[in-house]
Structure 1
Amino acid sequence: MLKSNKIEVSQLSIVLLRMMLSLIFIVASLNHLFQLEKTVGRIESAKFGMIGNLMGPPEVAVITSGIIMLIAGLALLIGFKTKLAAIALIIVLIPITLTIQIGQVSSLGPLFKNVAILGGLLIFALNNFSKQKS
């Protein structure tokens, strides 16, 4: 039988984490949607850019991921369907990380930034932070 360990977490810390985490996806989505050629160029020049081509033309992947990041990022920002938003962002973040960040041996910072972001998203994907009265 699994024993549930409960911890106390400040509601304010959860709200701040959710809002701060959402911003990177909102900004990235705007880059995907308004700087399409530049983003496609990053995929094509990436060591593992072929991963980006598995879903079809890179332009389609960039536009699709941009739309998902914008919608899910805004949902995360305002606290709407946070679990679903976090899962959608995880699904988008993994192929982006595999395509762009893996293989950049000269600079591992962006890779571990994405790992940290993934950790933040997992907090929302694996927990229920519905509004509760104290």
Structure 2
Amino acid sequence: MIRALALLVAFGLWSAALTGQPLKQQTNNKDAVTVKVTPLKVEGAVWEFEIVFDTHSQDLSDDLLNAAVLVGPDGSQIKPAGWNGDPPSGHHRKGVLRFNALNPPPDVLELRIARPKEPTQRAFKWTMPRQ
């Protein structure tokens, strides 16, 4: 009985630790441009992602309000609600992209960014913690 109780407590602590884990930064290197995406907040009414662009070979003229989408559980594409960061230009850009929360939250969170002159969108996916 004590052993079973100890296992239940250990499993509960392990599960709680998993749900509290932040989603990890993802990096995509393609066509001499590195894009890093870090989910900062994926709870509440507004979700936030830090976006970092880095290159030494081209101008970063991406308009993230038109180029980025969150993909809903039904495949719908949600445009950003705002961008707080560097304007389009230069070789290094950083900022926070905000979206209205997906409701219900998906099991897999997907952010896509369409870049100028790139034939396919860059996709960033995370498994959402269980609530």
Provide the TM-score with structure 1 as the length reference: 0.29
Q: Which structure dedicates a bigger proportion of its chain to helix? A: 1
Higher relative contact order (CA 8 A, sep 6+): 1
Give the number of the structure whose alpha-carbon radius of gyration is greater. Answer: 2
Q: Which structure dedicates a bigger proportion of its chain to strand? A: 2
Provide the TM-score with structure 2 as the length reference: 0.29
